[in-house]
Structure 1
Amino acid sequence: MAQLVQLDSILDIPADRWDALCSDGQPFVRHGFLAALEASESVSAASGWVPAHGILKNDTGEIIAAAPLYEKHHSYGEFVFDFAWANAYAQVGLDYYPKLLNAVPFTPVCGPRVLAVDHNARRELAQALAELPGSQNASSLHSLFVDDDSAAVLRESGAIARRGCQYRWYNRGYDDFDAFLAQLSSKRRKEIRRERKRMHDAGVEVRVLRPQDIDAELWQTLYAFYGRTYAIRGQAPYLTPAFFNELCQRMPERVRFFVAYHRERPVGMAFMMLGDDTLYGRHWGCETDYHSLHFETCYYAGIDYCIEHGLTCFDAGAQGEHKIRRGFEPVATWSYHVISHPRLAAAIDDFCVREADMMESFQREQRERSNFAAHPAHGT
């Protein structure tokens, strides 16, 4: 009979044994990314993220399934907002924290959450995870931004489904950026060309750099840009400087920095990562607020990169209805939630059903407002 074991650190399992369970090239559930978060202390008990990774072993001690898992004492850095649920717990005199989180910290990207050698092992681990809140004095278990394979077994375990919406750009075999623009309405083509021309006329150029292209001085500048994004909201950055150093050592082939230069001086950057067929935009920052710099650095340069390198999808990050006007399409995202308290579970289930109906209508309206000449077939 398989046994669930929990690890205090991803560093307690060899990288090759964890990565052997990863069925696709998505970088965020790989050992290198999760290890960089912990080794840099971006994820730790001090930051309210206590690693408690779930490992399923068979009778011979072989690891057959795994899940990135954390004990959480707040709801920040998740991007599926449950503050109202925490308030509901408080109103009936119960503690919502600690809760358990099956997700990638600070990373609202859909992907595998229950890794396994096969479907049966995935199902067995999902069921074991669903039983953890009751045995560990946790209010709940939350699996965020779940892919289809993980979603199937989480539904079987009795988890409550919650629908969200993100925006992605799809490459339909475009030869160049103008070929992509040709698929948009005349109004949107003109707006995008005007934004790009504004950057060109200002002397701004975006260069795609790999870790080995960045010296110590430039790195300090880029991290300062990243930190400013949080500082203007009165927050500390989620990621420490050491995170980027760790990640660039562990997964250099997956890391790209899109750096905007104004007359040879860096003024902004977008940190991105590569999957096998997808570019992922993750973090952004700049020296000061230049008009259209964000769109050029975070969106248009990424689209250019996908076209040039034959990538099929560009996931530029969570939220942002303004992406619709720039050729991105709405797609459904799903998270799954196990709530220990029966009455609150019923209330949250009812809320999620009603919310899903509203999100489906919202996504349909967004698609109808799409700026493509003909509505594409993605994003169901």
Structure 2
Amino acid sequence: MRLRESIDIRISSSLASIDADAWDQLVGEDDPFVEHAFLSLLEESGSVGRGSGWEPTHVTAWRGKRLVGALPLYLKTHSYGEYIFDWGWADAASRLGLSYYPKLVSMVPVTPVTGRRFLFAADDNPAEIVKRLIDGCHEAAESTRASSIHLLFLNPEEHDWVARDGRLMNRLSFQFHWRNEGYGDFEDFVGNFRSSMRKKLRKERRVAAEAKLQIEELRGDQLGMDDWLALERLYRATCGRKGSYPYLTPAFFELAPSRLDGSPLVFTAKDEGRIVAASINFAKGGHLYGRYWGATRRHDMLHFELCYYRLIEHAIDHHMRRFEAGAQGTHKLRRGLMPVPIHSAHWIRNPVLQEAVADFLPREAFSVQQQIRELRHHGPFRRAGDESLRPNRASG
């Protein structure tokens, strides 16, 4: 019997050094953000890289000349744009006289979405490749003298693999996601709400419609340069109003038409032919991801229309399984997005800080589980015994 070649680990400072087709053969069917095109667009546009605090340090696994595994990894000099917060850990490190930065983070930069971090072909041995990619993270930590390793927004299967490996500590948080329960259309979805919640949702949609704006749905291949430049202006203006840092550079939007395929999904609102608001989203396979919102001025309820209701309609119409609407936001609950557990995994070099965090994480997880249960109880959906009959579509 022929023995399999051993797996060698390499660390890459740029995706440009890795063949795009070889990388994308490892990517799952539902994840547009770890495709070579998206990650390399972040690098090429300067949204990550020198000066951004996100230095590409990707781990790749090879059998001979064949790429068999990969893990997007970044050397970070701050904790911004992660959305699984470790500021308290950084403060504790400072009190101990330790340097918390640089650290290593595996996620899609400034993109709080779940998905595969451990990339490998479907017919390969996941346990072996996961182990070697974690080995690679530790090799990168040694070569960069990083204080810690953080694997963020793991999917549940990856959470189990990492737990079995045993070298990283598991952490629990939560987000609000929408799940398709086999709805026939949007009204079928709303029909599962309690009466008071149905009325509020329908009122929000009526208010948005009264603005008399023209709503358009555009896929990536329908978006031209003028569209992307208009989206960039909305994005930057909204970041300025909210006081948030515009992580995506102008070059990201300029390069997007030639780099991204059909995965972008944009809903625009136009007033006399001019885009006045838009949501930028991404779709692949059975998953839909809400990402950015921008508007020139306030329009009542338009944010909810373009960022939630139109996307849920799209997901139902296209038989998609899940819609993720980004980080935080309990306001999502009453609109049908329910709390779900989010998994991450962590390793800290300093044993004193590692022990303190290890003591904290189970207590944090217990609190998160309680929050999830409480929030689910207050969701908009009918509970057993609330209503004996399903409402007809004309009812409130």
Please confirm whether the aligned pair reaches a TM-score higher than 0.5, indicating the same fold: yes
The amino acid across from 2:132 in the alignment is E
In 2, distance between residues paired with 1:153 and 1:61? 26
Letter in 2 for 1:99: K
Structure 2 counterpart of 1:254, from 256, 263, 275: 263
Q: 1:6 aligns with which of 11, 15, 27?
A: 11
Give 1:47 deviation, angstroms: 0.7
What is the CA distance between 1:218 and its match in structure 2?
A: 3.8
**CA–CA distance in 2 between the matches of 1:77 and 1:160?**
21
Residue 19 of structure 1 aligns with an amino acid whose one-letter code is D
Post-superposition Cα deviations, 1:204-226, rounded to whole Å, max 9, x if no partner, equal: 34211134434444433221111
Specify which of 95, 100, 118 is matched with residue 96 of structure 1.
100
Using structure 2 for the length normalisation, give the TM-score: 0.90
CA distance in 2, matches of 1:280, 1:42: 20
User: Within 2, Cα distance between the matches of 1:246 and 1:122?
Assistant: 33
Encode CA deviations 1:339-363: one digit per residue, 9 max, x unaligned: 0111100101111111111000000
C-alpha distance after superposition, 1:269-319 (max 9, x if no partner): 100111200111111111112211110110011111112222121111111
Partners of 1:166 and 1:331 within 8 A in 2: yes
Aligned to 1:378: none
Please provide the CA RMSD for this pair: 1.7
Q: Secondary structure at 2:262's aligned position in 1?
A: helix
Residue 330 (structure 1) aligned to one of 331, 339, 357: 339
Instruction: Please state how far the C-alpha of 1:158 moved relative to its aligned partner.
Output: 1.5
2-structure distance, mates of 1:148, 1:167: 16
Aligned pairs (5 A) from 1:1-380: 1-58=6-63, 60-117=64-121, 118-119=125-126, 120-155=128-163, 156-374=165-383
How far apart, CA to CA, are the structure 1 residues paired with 2:305 and 2:335?
A: 11
CA distance in 1, matches of 2:353, 2:87: 14
Percent same amino acid at aligned positions? 38
Q: Using a 3 Å threshold, how does the CA distance of structure 1 residues 130 and 353 change in structure 2: closer, same or farther?
A: farther
Q: Using the alignment, how far apart are the partners of 1:271 and 1:41 within structure 2?
A: 20
Letter in 1 for 2:29: D
Distance, in Å, in 2 between the alignment partners of 1:212 and 1:62 is: 32
Report the number of matched residues: 374
Does structure 2 conserve the Cα–Cα contact (< 8 Å) formed by 1:269 and 1:284?
Answer: yes
The equivalent of 2:388 in structure 1 is none
Q: Secondary structure at the match of 2:153?
A: coil
State the secondary structure of the residue aligned to 2:202. Answer: helix
- Report if the CA contact (8 A) 2:156-2:343 is conserved: no
Q: Helix, strand or coil: the match of 2:242?
A: coil
Answer yes or no: is the 8 Å Cα contact 1:202–1:262 preserved in 2: no
Q: 1:214 to 1:133 in 2, by over 3 A?
A: closer
Once residues 80 and 246 of structure 2 are traced to their aligned partners in structure 1, the CA distance between those partners, rounded to angstroms, is 12
Relative to 1, partners in 2 of residues 1:189 and 1:286: Cα closer, same or farther, differing over 3 Å? same
The verdict on how the C-alpha distance between 1:310 and 1:188 changes in structure 2, with shifts beyond 3 A counting, is same
Measure the CA separation in 2 of the matches of 1:229 and 1:79.
19
Unaligned runs of 5+ in 1: 376-380
Change (3 A) 1:374 1:263: farther
Contact 1:203 1:263 in 2 (8 A): no
Q: Report the alpha carbon displacement of residue 8 of structure 1 after superposing the two structures with TM.
A: 1.1
Q: Is the 8 A contact 1:112 1:149 kept in 2?
A: no
User: Which structure 2 segments of 5+ residues have no match?
Assistant: 1-5, 385-396
